[in-house]
A and B are shown apart, each in its own frame.
Chain A
Amino acid sequence: MPYSLAILWRDRSRYLPAVLAVTFSAVLIAVQCGLVLGLLICTSVPIDHAGADIWVITSDAASMPQTYPIPDLWALRVARQPEVVRTETYLLGAGSWHKPNQGSAELCYLIGSRLDAGSLGVVRELSPDVRARLAEPGAVVVDEWDLENLGLSKGVGEHAELNGRRVRVVGTVRGFQGHNFIYVFCSLETARMLMPEFMQHPEMTMCVLARCKDPADAPAVVERLRRLHPDMGVYTRAELSRRVQMYWLFRSTGGTVMLCTISLALLVGLVVTSQTLYAAVLASLREYAVLDAMGIPRWRLIVLTLAKSFWIGAFGILLAFPVVLVLSWAALLMRTRVLLPVEMLLVTAALTMGMALVSGISALRPLRQVEPATLLR
């Protein structure tokens, strides 16, 4: 066993606070980032799960909620591109869901798309059976986690009012819980019925969607359309998804909160770990002085301290992972998604390990006080 590990293990009561501080930092960072990621995904989930390679909206919209109706003739501009094999219109807009048998309403986000097999706007999670039922006028689909918020009990077969019109829930989906609003999926016809501005202006749409024969051509087509039609806001699916997420991240201060939490977590971990290591180095100054007198190179003492900080980081991170998993599972019980992609967990581990090593470096200062001659007084 390395000396650093042996010292750490046998004097674990001394080093435990540092290990727990690292664990605290790692848990806080992972859970906070996981929560933010979960919310970010919510904001772009209809885009990510649809079949369109290209999305056209108003040119200056920073995000989907900022879009304004556009002429459906723009679909022809897109369809003229040789790589494009299909275009279609797509409606979305805010709605007010009046809970059945209750006085209150819930803000929702209405999404209307074509429902046929090759549809570009409909999300993959809608089965052919549900799509068939959605074709009925006034039929809608909602996320099963949102049923309670919508004042529904079992969902399918229940009625409610949306923008003053009667709607019927014909199915539910999973994984489409929105952030601060509720996604409601329906057909284009139902969407026009529920959103009066589109009923009055049937030549208008909210988005134009397109698919390329080869999805890899999408970026080039997007570039060309931007050049030819600067009045259009043209994006690939990935671009729009990222744009929507970034808008939410910075506009909603979610990003700022995340950065503040990470900084705080690192600061707490740094202070506790460095102070623990600092005190440990101070307590060993006489032993270090003996080694120094015997000519042991000073860098060995530096490496010993850094190795201890490495092990503190490693144990803290190892301890953090089960805690993070338990917390994310507990969050799921409360219908909150904490996404934990491997990349994010690796970044969290790297950040906290970096913090532990910086703590080790800051704890090296007392080594300058190692003076073997003091042992001979």
Chain B
Amino acid sequence: MAGEGPNLQGIDLTRSFGSGETLTPVLRGISLDLYPGRFYLIMGPSGCGKSTLLAVLSGLLRPDGGRVLALGRDLWEMPERERRQFRLEHFGFIFQGYNLFPTLTAREQLEMVLRWGEGAPPREARRRVADILNALGLGRKADLLPAQLSGGEKQRVAIGRALLKKPAFCFADEPTSALDWAHGRHVVELLHAATRQQGATVLAVAHDPRLAQYADTVFHLDDGRLSEPEAPAAVAGR
């Protein structure tokens, strides 16, 4: 963690798609500061660039201009191998859809991350995975395949996969879009808990305003520009 200061900064980020006459600017000089132990939500209409901003901040998509400082290091100045290692050590991801291997059990999906990522011994990986699955209420479903789990359970497995390494940052793209509100609320509560219990910085993008009540700070993205940070109460009051 970076103490009192921000641990993730986006500075004057720009990103366009296409070229020539079809050039479409998506990010137009975006800057933002994110602090540890807080839950940030980026909202905006479909196609406004929320996911692009998430990809740029998480080291998955190179911006055309600007810098991303994570834990004080410029993400896009790192060589690819170093950036991959940085993601391995500090980033967790939750994507739209669950993207779970259909032929691996919930336990194996998570163990794979520890064993392949950290080189954790099988016994240690098994213990850590059992802990997090129990915490997610999936202890009795550890040996089930994704097809045997409900949508909410699958998303909890995906959250477990993202938070398993206790990352400093967790990036979530529409984490509740495939769920009904009862399951969606549970998922957001889990992410919220990660900020409090693990001190993680959670950055989620969504267009469901009901998520705002759980966020510490809400940004609005429109036409490639980011609004000033708002308190959730202001959003919920609209």
Give the contacts of B74-113 with A (CB-CB under 8 A). 84-89, 91-93, 95-97, 99-104, 108, 112-113
Q: Are A6 and B104 in contact (CB under 8 A)?
A: yes
CB distance from B116 to the nearest CB of A (A): 5
* Structural contact, A3 and B85, CB atoms closer than 8 A: no
Mark each residue of chain A from 1 to 38: 1 if its CB lies under 8 Å from any CB of chain B, else 0: 00100110011000000000000000000000000000
B173 at the binding interface (Cβ < 8 Å)? yes
Given A375-B173, A376-B54; A10-B103 close (CB under 8 Å): yes
Q: A260 → chain B, closest Cβ, in Å?
A: 38
| B99 CB contact (under 8 Å) in A7, A287, A295, A296 | A287
Instruction: Decide yes or no whether B16 CB sits under 8 A from chain A.
Output: no
Contact B61 A373 (CB under 8 A): yes
Contacts of A10 in B (CB 8 A): 103-104, 145
Residue picked from A7, A289, A300, A376, most chain B C-beta under 10 Å: A376
B143 to chain A, nearest CB (A): 11
**CB distance B61 to A376 under 8 Å?**
yes
Is A293 part of the contact surface with B, judged by Cβ < 8 Å? Answer: yes
Interface pair A290/B95, CB less than 8 Å apart:
yes
Known A-B contacts A7-B101, A295-B86, A376-B60; A290 and B93 likewise in contact (beta carbons under 8 Å): yes
Is A325 in the interface zone, CB < 8 Å from B? no
B201 at the interface (CB under 8 A from A): no
Is there contact, CB below 8 Å, between A295 and B117? yes
With A297-B116, A375-B96 in contact, do A284 and B89 touch (Cβ < 8 Å)? no
**Set of chain A residues within 8 Å of B99, measured between Cβ atoms:** 286-287, 289-290, 375
Q: Chain A 63-103, CB within 8 Å of chain B: the 1/0 string?
A: 00000000000000000000000000000000000000000
Any B CB within 8 A of the CB of A294? yes
Name the residue on A nearest B51 (C-beta).
A376
Chain B, 21-56, contact with A by CB distance < 8 Å: what is the 0/1 string?
000000000000000000000000000000110110
State how many angstroms separate the Cβ of A7 from the closest Cβ of chain B: 5
- B-contacting residues, A274-317, CB 8 Å: 284, 286-287, 289-291, 293-297, 300
Given contact pairs A291-B113, A297-B84, enumerate 6 new A-B contacts (beta carbons under 8 Å).
A7-B101, A10-B104, A11-B103, A300-B116, A375-B95, A375-B96
